[in-house]
Copies of this chain bind each other. A is one copy, B any other.
Amino acid sequence: MISQDMMGLGKKRSTIREIFEYGNARAKIVGRENVFDFSLGNPNVPAPSVLTEELKGFIDAEAADALHGYTSATGIEWVRESMAESLNSRFGTKFSKDNFYMTCGAAASICIVLKAIACPGDEFVVPAPFFPEYRCWIENTVNGKCVIVPARTEDFQINFEAFEASINENTKAVIINTPNNPCGAVYSEETIIKLSEILKAAQKKYGHAIYLISDEPYREIVFDGLKIPFVTKYYDNTFVCYSFSKSLSLPGERIGYVLVPDEMEDSKDVYAAVCGAGRVLGYVCAPSLFQRVVGKCSILTSDITVYETNRKLLYDGLINAGFSCVKPQGTFYMFPRSLEADEYAFCERAKKYDLLLVPGTDFGCPGHVRIAYCVKTETIERALPLFDKLAKEYK
């Protein structure tokens, strides 16, 4: 007499969470320092110290009832202005505060967008590899059909042949995640242009809008000075779903936004639907103190140099050990091929060395494993000989 779907979703622990718990249990036996837990994407560098100063500053300067009071459902005006300025100064866009709706993080942003646009019978296309919760939200939050596009494993750009075949008259939206969790790939400008062209042609063919939902929590975590193509500049019907979880190391504070550009078809109506969806999902406003904090820190990031250091060390080490891996251009994840076809068996074998990896199947990409390298550099240094031993078992 309760929702069996919800009960099922609540009982099924995520693979990642299972591995994390296993790691905790192992730590009690062999010591925390001897467990190489690469399962969780929890940033290990602190928020910038300026952010902490701003946080304290608001607490000291503002009256508590105002500081912790309700904000407008869409978010504090000057905070939304700051969001616009931050993007405009970095990407040459022309957003205003009215394009932004502050949310409780990227998960909230994506659920709100799905709820705002979904109609019965809609299909949502997701290129693999992808963040596993997309499927949960498409199927359960809006009862949509989740259409997976197989990964292009040679470079983790989009498999366009399969992508085109996945679009039909029921396609309501495509969800992309660049820089990508789990593989760290960044879609090139060429990829974004080609994606846009296919979607524009499909819109024309089917006579209705097809939305691009760009999930961008890793937008600021890119390496080698890479420039990210800002998706709204290429395709008008783009929602940007953002979170400060990763860039400012604030995952627990639940703060982000939905961006609805003016260029979007019927953008005012769509923005209203975003507001309605926020209401219906039980979001009253984004947390008020952290709205202010990110309003002051919107162009900052945590010190992400450690991620770049870790990437080089881990990537070179894995290649030397004989692994095959697309070199990540961003995020703090690496997604090498498993050394045997069944990556679950491979992950089990890795456990012998207390190397905790996540199987790729949940990300829609079997035969790969995810390594979250948001850990101390020393952890990677000490793990590399173990990856080497693991690889030797397959030689």
Contact = CB atoms under 8 A, between A and B. Distances in A.
A177 to B, nearest CB: 16
For the complex of A and B, 4 pairs with smallest distance between CB atoms: A252-B288, A111-B282, A9-B276, A10-B276
A68 B250 contact: yes
B1 A119 contact: yes
Contact of A253 (B2, B52, B249, B287): B287
A251 interface: yes
A254 interface: yes
Interface in A1-54: 1-3, 5-11, 40, 42-47, 51-52
Contact of A6 (B9, B104, B208, B273): B273
Interface of A: prevailing SS: helix
Nearest to A271: B10
Contacts of A274: 6, 10
Nearest to A44: B65
A70 to B, nearest CB: 5
A69 interface: yes
Interface in A263-320: 266, 269-277, 279-290
Contacts of A40: 70
Given A280-B141, A284-B107, A116 B69 contact: no
Number of copies of this protein chain within its complex: 2
Contacts of A269: 2, 7
Contacts of A251: 68-70, 284
Interface in A320-355: none
A290 B56 CA distance: 14
Interface string A80-123: 00000000000000000000000011011111100111110000
Contacts of A168: none
Interface of A: 1-3, 5-11, 40, 42-47, 51-52, 55-56, 59, 63-65, 67-71, 104-105, 107-112, 115-119, 133, 136-137, 140-141, 172, 208-209, 249-254, 266, 269-277, 279-290
Given A10-B274, A273-B7, A280-B137, A252 B285 contact: yes
A3 B118 contact: yes
A137 B51 CA distance: 36
A209 B6 CA distance: 17
25 contacts: A1-B172, A2-B116, A2-B266, A2-B269, A2-B270, A6-B280, A8-B276, A9-B280, A10-B271, A51-B64, A64-B249, A65-B249, A67-B252, A68-B253, A69-B252, A104-B287, A107-B283, A108-B282, A136-B280, A141-B280, A252-B289, A253-B289, A254-B254, A254-B286, A254-B287
